[in-house]
Amino acid sequence: MAQKHIPSDILALYDVFDYKHAAAILKHDFPKEYKEICDALRNFRLTADNIKKAGGNESEMPKKLAKLLPLWKKQKLKINQTATDQNGIVTTSNSSTHIIDFFKNKVALDMEWNSKDQTYDRDLYAFRAFFEFGQIDIAIIVTRGKNLVSFFKSLGTYKKNGKTKAYAAKYGASTTHWGKLIPRLEGGRSGGCPVLAFGITDKVITKNTKKRV
């Protein structure tokens, strides 16, 4: 269970879901990466202004996390599957390419803040393929947690082109959030790849970001 391997202060800040003992694998097989991820999650903070920013602020959230994971790099992974016919001719039958937001020592981490929820399918199927071909050993997804819906609603409304709109409307039911991710993990869409999911909750929202990122 994730609770045995994730520090209590991080459990207080995030929803956590552990698929195929990912938390234990991360902690015991990748201790340096485990510490770096825990430290990053411990110090990750958002403000209401971050969330209100135009466009749903998809790009700013990974940038915030990137500042806390300076040794992790964006990585393009590619798999070419080949087939050999009866004459010994080798052809490429399939090619899979996926860009990992944060990658280090065969640990893959993607952050999904406000994309279409089908993005999870792309991520999980990519994790599955790269795991099966030995390019990654474990995957992590950081996304919006369960209680952010209530927080979004508390932000009220804004004016755009003479119309009143709710900030919560920018974060719709068909975008990337906890309720869309967990059924996909429980359904085994990442195959044999261990996946550890963290859902950002309102506990990371603060008015003071001077000492946090």
**CATH code for the domain of 103:** 3.40.91.20
Question: Residue 162 is part of which domain span?
Answer: 2-73+98-204
In a domain, 209, yes or no: no
Q: How many domains does the chain have?
A: 1
Which residues face 157 on adjacent strands?
Answer: 166
In contact, 73 and 103? CB cutoff 8 Å: yes
Task: Say if 194 falls within a structural domain.
Answer: yes
Residue with tokens 């280090």: 104
Contact 32, 71 (CB under 8 A): no
Question: How is residue 175 annotated by DSSP?
Answer: B
Question: pLDDT tens digit string along 122-164?
Answer: 999 999 999 998 999 999 999 999 999 899 999 999 888 889 9
The predicted-structure confidence for 29-47, as pLDDT tens digits, reads as follows: 999 999 999 999 999 999 9
pTM higher than 0.75, yes or no? Answer: yes
Q: How far apart are CA 73 and CA 68, in angstroms?
A: 12
Helix (H) or strand (E) holding 191: none
